[in-house]
Amino acid sequence: MRAFHENRIYGSRMPIQVSRVRNMNFLAHWHHDLEFIYVREGSIQIGINSETRLLKAGEFSVCGSGEIHYYDQGKSDSEVLMIIFNPRLIGSPAGWPEKGGLSSSFIPYQKDTVPSEFEQQALVELSAVMERIAEEHERGLEHSETIMIGLLHLLGGLTLRYMPTTSPQLRRSARSENHLKIMQELLNYLEEHCHLPLTLQDGADRAAMSVFHFSRFFKNVTGMNYNTYLNELRIRRAEKMIAETDEKLIHIALECGFGNVRTFNRVFRQLRGGTPSQWR
């Protein structure tokens, strides 16, 4: 899947994806669709816009339309229940939430806190609806789609009850909305041009920031530094070429933005634990 603006394609007529995923890693990206995550086991680091949280078993996060988010499993283990769907299924084709933004992207609301009684109730209700959606999706019984749409409305309604929207003005101030828009455009650009010799200064120039502030902001939003993110894009492109073509590794290295095979091999080993020839 693409690392920046992901235009989702679903395998059925109903635009929804329901999956139980173990040890998930995903580069910073965004999409119009809504993304709900419930951690069933273990823990996983999740970044949404400029906020990063280590979510543990029993905790919850949600990404509204257009929000930049990433997943970093690190060295821990986890299983998450993930539900992604087009907001038109709950009557919001232009995006959700329709007004302002959610007061929080996570439950518990604050880092490193024990859930309050209110938050515990939220987690019980939200997780129960998500598990029921997963059950309907997996069993595929008669009228499951109708039932799932009703449950998605319930999931959205409960989310707004327990994570109410703030005014658009407060949302922009808290989330640095203008900077996030710049970041969306930058991630788009990096995906399309990662084969070029793009430097940290190039990124800072496109974001109209100093190198110092850009470096910190980029890591806050994506969870990794600029060069690592760029190399991850290049290695993903290389993996695709290795799997789908008979091109020599030197040609793949150059096509994907590496100056020589030695650098290509070194970065590939750092990010994948093996060499490109072993991958082939």
Give pLDDT tens digits for 47-88: 998 889 999 999 999 999 988 999 999 889 999 999 999 999
* Distance from C-alpha of 98 to C-alpha of 114, rounded to nearest angstrom: 30
What mean pLDDT do residues 160-172 have?
72
- At 9 the pLDDT is 60
What mean pLDDT do residues 250-256 have?
94
Look-up of token digits 């900077």: 179
- Is 50 exceeded by the pLDDT of residue 172? no
Q: What is the pLDDT of residues 15-44, one digit of tens each?
A: 999 999 999 999 998 888 999 999 999 999
- At 2 the pLDDT is 46
* Distance from C-alpha of 136 to C-alpha of 26, rounded to nearest angstrom: 26
CA atoms within 13 A on the CB side of 30: 22
Answer for the pair 206, 230: CB distance below 8 angstroms, yes or no: no
What mean pLDDT do residues 221-245 have?
93
* Distance from C-alpha of 100 to C-alpha of 18, rounded to nearest angstrom: 27
Residue 78 Cα distances to 91, 170, 172, 232, 261, angstroms: 32, 34, 32, 22, 35
- At 277 the pLDDT is 86
Percent of the chain clearing pLDDT 90 (strictly above) = 71
Closest-CA residue to 163 (of 107, 83, 92, 113): 107
Any idea which architecture 176-279 has in CATH? Orthogonal Bundle (1.10)
Pairing mode of beta strands 34-48, 51-56: antiparallel
Q: 2 exposed, middle or buried (CB, 10 Å; 0-12, 13-18, 19+)? A: middle
Homologous superfamily assigned to 16-169: Regulatory protein AraC (2.60.120.280)
Confidence band (pLDDT; 50, 70, 90) for 1? very low
Dig out the tokens for 174 from the structure: 């808290």
- Domain ranges, ordered by start, for the chain: 16-169, 176-279
What mean pLDDT do residues 119-142 have?
96
- Is 70 exceeded by the pLDDT of residue 5? no
- Is 90 exceeded by the pLDDT of residue 184? no
- Is 80 exceeded by the pLDDT of residue 177? no
- Is 90 exceeded by the pLDDT of residue 200? yes
Q: What is the pLDDT of residues 90-112, one digit of tens each?
A: 999 989 998 778 889 999 999 98
- At 173 the pLDDT is 47
> What's this model's pTM, rounded to 2 decimal places?
0.82
- At 7 the pLDDT is 55
